[in-house]
Amino acid sequence: MKKNQLGQSDLSISELTLGCMSLGTDNQKAKEIIDRALDAGINHLDTADLYDFGRNEEIVGEAIKGKRDQVVLTTKVGNNFSKEKQDWFWDPSKEHIEQGVKDSLHRLGTDYIDFYMLHGGTIDDPIDESIEAFENLKQEGLIRAYGISSIRPNVIREYVERSNIDAVMMQYNMLDRRPEEEILDLLHENSISVLARGPLAKGMLSDRADEHIETKGKDGFLDYSYDELKSIHNELEHVNGDGSLNALALSYILKHPAVASAVFGASSVSQVDDNTDFDQSTLTDETYRNIQSITKAIKYTNHR
C-alpha cells in the first residue's frame, strides 16, 4: 500500500488508516481485525484515550504486542475522564496533556507514541500552553510528532501559525466537502497533512449505502435532505458503473495532495477487506469533477 509522509515529520503512513474506535471490547476479535489491516498493508492505527474510557487503548496495545515496529501509532488527549463514573470534561491544559500521555503509554504498553493529537479544541483554549506541552513531550522522546483533531477553521489557523503540528484530523468525504473551502489548501501550503475521518459518511457512501441512508440518513445529513441523499447515491452509482462505492469514496478524498490518509473504522474483518480492495489511481480528473458537480460545496457555519 502506498505510504505518505506525515507533515514534515519522519513518519510515513499508509494511505488508509484503521480507526480503532469501532473495534469493540472482544480482544481476540479486535486482534483479528488489526492483523487483517496490517496484512493488507495498513501501518497506521488511530485510537484515543477516551474511547471506551481507556479500554480501546488497552485492546490496541495488546493486539500489537510483538509488532510495535510495524505500526505507526496515533492516540489523542484532551478529555479528562473518569472510567468509574464514565464522564469527562474538556481539558487542554499542559498538566493534563503531560499526565495523559503517561496514562496512554501505560494502557498501550509502549514507551513512545508516534503521533499524538489534541482531541478537539476551541478558540478559547490556552493554545500556547497546549503547544508547549506537546513540544515538551516531543523533546522528551515520548511522542514523535503531534497535531490536532478539529474541524474548526479558526482553531486550525491558530495552530498553523503558532505550532509545529504535522497533521490535522478532520471529517472529510464526498458529502462533507467543507474542508475544500478553506482548510485543505492552507494545510498543504504549510506542509501539514490531513487525516480524513468519516470517509464513508456513516456508510452512506459505501456499497451498502441504500440501507444506511434509510437509517442514518432518514432525517438528512448536514445540508442534505433524505431525498437528496437518495438522488446523489443514484448518480454516484451511475458515475461509478460496476465499481465499488467504498473505493470511489476513498479515492475521492485521497485525490487532494493535502490528504495523507483516509481513516475508516471497522468492527469486522470483512469491513477491512471492503475498504482495502481499491486502486486510487483509477479516479480520473473528469470523474473527480463529476462528483463535485453532484454533491454540494457546503461551508462551515457553527464550527468556528
The answer to the question of residue 61 being in a domain is yes
Domain contains 204:
yes
Any domain includes 135: yes
The reported pLDDT for the residue numbered 230 is 97
Inside any domain, residue 151: yes
What are 168-200's pLDDT values in tens digits?
999 999 999 999 999 999 999 999 999 999 999
Residue 226 forms part of a structural domain: yes
Average pLDDT over residues 52-73: 94
Q: Which of 51, 116, 172, 224 is catalytic?
A: 51
Q: Name the pLDDT band for 279 (thresholds 50, 70, 90).
A: confident
Dump pLDDT digits (tens) for 35-54: 999 999 999 999 999 888 88
Is 177 a member of any domain? yes
Neighbours of 303 (CB within 10 A): 14
Is 303 part of any domain? no
Instruction: Over range 262-281, report the average pLDDT.
Output: 91
Residue 95: count other Cβ atoms within 10 Å of its Cβ.
11
Is 219 contained in some domain?
Answer: yes
State the Cα–Cα distance between residues 236 and 245, nearest whole angstrom: 8
Range of the domain at 59: 3-294
The answer to whether residue 288 is catalytic is no
For residue 95 the three cell numbers come to 498538566
Task: Provide the number of structural domains found in the chain.
Answer: 1
Residue 80 has pLDDT above 90, yes or no: no
CATH number at residue 260: 3.20.20.100
